Amino acid sequence: MYALIYDKHRLDHPLKRVISVHKNRNEAEAALERRRGELGRKVPECFTRVVWVDKEDLQVGEFVGPGEYDTWRPGELVPFGDLYSDQD
């Protein structure tokens, strides 16, 4: 399942709250864009990101921790721009 999680990148708070659950990445990306619009902010300012969670019964409001989610689903084609860092 794909999910939007609330992630302020705080190491002292490793559990991330699930905001919404989606069957595919396109639906999740569209939900992220809607959230951005509702908040009137840019994506980085929403502290929200799309992740893959290998759990069929994932529910909104649950918390997921390190090792339970990843940015990309195993075997998913990762866009070239996401393979390499922009920084030196």
Q: For residue 87, what pLDDT is reported?
A: 66
Q: What is the pLDDT of residue 28?
A: 96
pLDDT digits (tens, 9 = 90+) for 42-71: 877 889 999 999 998 999 999 999 999 998
Q: What is the percent of the chain where pLDDT is above 70?
A: 95
What's the pTM?
0.83
d(CA 83, CA 31): 23
| Predicted local confidence at residue 14, as pLDDT | 93
Torsion-angle region of 46 (φ positive above 0: left; ψ -120 to 50: alpha; else: beta) = alpha
How much is the pLDDT for 42? 85
Residue pair 17/63 in contact (Cβ under 8 Å)? The answer is yes
